[in-house]
Amino acid sequence: MSNTNKMHFMFHKKPKSEAGFSKKQMSVWMLIFIDVLLAAVCLGAFSFYQIVLPKKLSSAELVVATTTDLDYSNFTLPDNNGTENNNIISVSPVVQTKEFTGQAPTNKPSGKAPTDNPSRVAQIGNFSNYGNTDTDNISANESDIAAFSNKLKTITEMNTYQSDNIQFTTNMVELGSGNDKVTYYISDIYVTNVKYIKTAFAKGTYARNITDSSLDMAAENGALLTISGDYYGNSEISIVIRNGILYRSTGNDADVCILFTDGTMKTYSPEDFDADEVIDEGAWQAWTFGPALLDGNGDIPGSFHTTDYLYGYQPRSAIGYIEQGHYVFVIVDGRCGGYSRGANLNELAQIMVDAGCVSAYNLDGGKSASMVYNNEYVNIPAQGGRDISDIIYLGE
């Protein structure tokens, strides 16, 4: 067979000598075009099954941790007669308080004291050994952190609440200007027991693709203050422990955050994480999204276990741990030039450092990032927000 005829054979055409006797066939490019169209249809079906179709997940729902009023895990709320809120504003180089009328606690609960002082900011300067060793580890950027940290902050109190068991103050912090402006909301939270830090599933169901707005979920659960959770419903292979109940214990390749019944909160890399171990230690809540923002000692790690896309300027949701009984919720708004461009992971980590956190964890951000108080959004969710599969909330 000649080379020309061979080519014709490969492209579904008979050799020229037989062409007059064969049926007219579709061109190869048309066939490939149809294949691409079919692939698009299949992707649509895949996405529908994966993202839209609700699927109730089976779970043994084992109770792995309980909290009681009489056990070791009780903390005292701070004295409310103080005049400054150390955990939010003290480490900022320049702070301009526009409206700050709330009374913030001064006496910290017993336990490990937060190291909310300027020396921590200085520690961030040492990045000489940091490196991007693989594509899943994005290096922390010293100049990003320094630039963000030096910006003038304007703080406005948004809400405050105090009862015998829960105390919190939420502030709106604005920094920068123009398209570089960042607006975030930070709640400084004290609880007498971790049982007041609760989580809830959309429509009360452990499932994939069952979602609801954080407003509705907050109302259904009588939440005092709510932030978006880790969107566990996106995955089939992440650890899910909620309010002491184990729904699944499979790990994936993301960092994990555990809130223990003794009030401590720790983050784990996928390599260090052992589900049985954390369950034995009394895991009250387990979230899988990440990455971990701090190293457990209040310092920003050398690199974040994430991707380039997730590292960039985005709306953010995060939880931070200062000491037993003392936490912060942070929501950074984004994708809205002139109001807030969002924060990258360096900047979010710096916010947590400024708040005095020793451990902090990035939760589901983007359109999911929302904070609800008194049945209203505290922040302005990006592009109107989206329905999500779970929330973290404070409830009596």
Partner 1 sequence: MKKIVTIIPHATIIMSIMFITLWILDQYNPNMNFLDSKLSNTLLLILFILSTVTSIIAVIFDRKLGRRDETPENRIE
336 makes contact with partner 1 (CB under 8 A) = no
Given the complex with partner 1, which of 51 and 113 has the nearer CB atom?
51
Given the complex with partner 1, which of 7 and 19 has the nearer CB atom?
7
Task: Name which position in 7, 38, 62, 219 contacts partner 1 (CB under 8 A).
Answer: 38
236 makes contact with partner 1 (CB under 8 A) = yes
Q: Output the 3-class SS for 148-195.
A: HHCCCEEEEEEEEEECCCEEEEEEEEEECCHHHCEEEEEEEEEECCHH
35 makes contact with partner 1 (CB under 8 A) = yes
Given the complex with partner 1, which of 39 and 219 has the nearer CB atom?
39
Q: Which residues within the stretch 261-300 sit at the binding site for partner 1 (CB under 8 A)?
A: 289
Alpha helices, DSSP H, located in 340-388: 345-354
86-94, 143-151, 159-167, 306-314 -> range binding partner 1 (CB under 8 A): 306-314
Do the Cβ atoms of 286 and 256 come closer than 8 Å? yes
Cβ-based neighbours of 33, under 8 Å, separated by 6 or more: none
Task: Report the candidate in 199, 392, 349, 359 with the shortest Cα–Cα distance to residue 269.
Answer: 359
55 makes contact with partner 1 (CB under 8 A) = no
33-60: buried (b, 16+ CB within 10 Å) or exposed (e) per residue? eeeeeeeeeeeeeeeeeeeeeeeeeeee
- SS3 at position 293: coil
252 makes contact with partner 1 (CB under 8 A) = yes
Site map (CB under 8 A) of partner 1, residues 345-364, x = contact:
-------------------x
103-111, 216-224, 277-285, 302-310 -> range binding partner 1 (CB under 8 A): 302-310
Cβ-based neighbours of 217, under 8 Å, separated by 6 or more: 200, 202, 223, 226, 388, 390, 391, 393
58 makes contact with partner 1 (CB under 8 A) = no
Task: Report the candidate in 121, 200, 190, 130 with the shortest Cα–Cα distance to residue 391.
Answer: 200
* Shortest CB 98 distance to partner 1, Å: 36
Task: Name which position in 68, 307, 375, 383 contacts partner 1 (CB under 8 A).
Answer: 307
Output DSSP code: residue 132.
-
Contacts to partner 1 by CB under 8 A: 1-2, 6, 9, 31-32, 35-36, 38-39, 42-43, 46, 49-51, 231, 234-237, 252-254, 289, 307, 309-310, 364
